[in-house]
Amino acid sequence: MHQLGNGPFIKTTVESLSRKHALETRRVYEVSEMKIANSPSQLEAMTGLVYVSPYNNVGPYVMLDDSEIYRVAPHAGVDVDTIALNAIQRRLLVKFAGDDVNVSNIHIPMDKEFTFKNLTVKTEYVKSYPDHAFPDSAELANAFKTQFEGHVLQPEQKVIMQHNNESFLLTVQSDMTGLVCNTTRVSINF
């Protein structure tokens, strides 16, 4: 990583992101350390977003502890200098509510090279339902694309989604990081 700027709270770095056929450059702007809180409600926990106070100066995408990238939404129920994560997001970071996390604004390139053309996700029930048949793959894929359009997903990243009153844990099966867009073809593996 090459540091371009300096300062106690803001530094600019340039990282190379290795892609299958291209090398992408993104700029990361270090913001600060924030306290982790639980998602404001069960509804917000199912969106895959992370939530911050409207008074925090945070961009539309953040990287947490230099690993996971999430889309951000302001929420009045979140305290200043706090970031609200769902259980899956906290588990991926190996963090708990009350722990500190490094939060960096990240610029996501909005070009064809960074968007997923095809994306496969492994799907499982959050709770075990051996009697239930999985829903129609095409229906679940469309619901996934609708919910996660505009999200950046990384290899082996886990997200949670609710569909037809059932909660699903989905694992990204890709060897690259990319942006889900309306033209992304999503395949479901059970």
Could you give all domains of the chain from N- to C-terminal order, each with its CATH number? 2-106 (2.40.40.20), 118-189 (3.10.330.10)
For residue 60, give the nearest of 75, 72, 48 by alpha carbon: 72
Task: Identify the weakest region by mean pLDDT among 6-10, 23-27, 120-124, 148-152.
Answer: 6-10
For residue 119, give the nearest of 46, 174, 79 by alpha carbon: 174
- The phi and psi torsions of 79 (rounded to 5 degrees) equal -70, 155
Number of CB atoms found within 10 A of residue 75's CB: 17
Q: CB of 151 within 8 A of CB of 71?
A: yes
pTM of the model: 0.79
Cα–Cα distance, 26 to 28 (Å, whole number)? 7
Tell me what pLDDT residue 128 has: 62
List, for residues 25-80, the tens digit of each pLDDT value: 355 666 689 999 999 999 999 999 999 999 998 999 999 998 889 999 999 999 99
pLDDT-derived band at 113, boundaries 50, 70, 90? confident
What is the residue-averaged pLDDT of the chain? 83
Task: Identify the weakest region by mean pLDDT among 43-47, 71-75, 88-92, 128-132.
Answer: 128-132
Tell me what pLDDT residue 8 has: 33
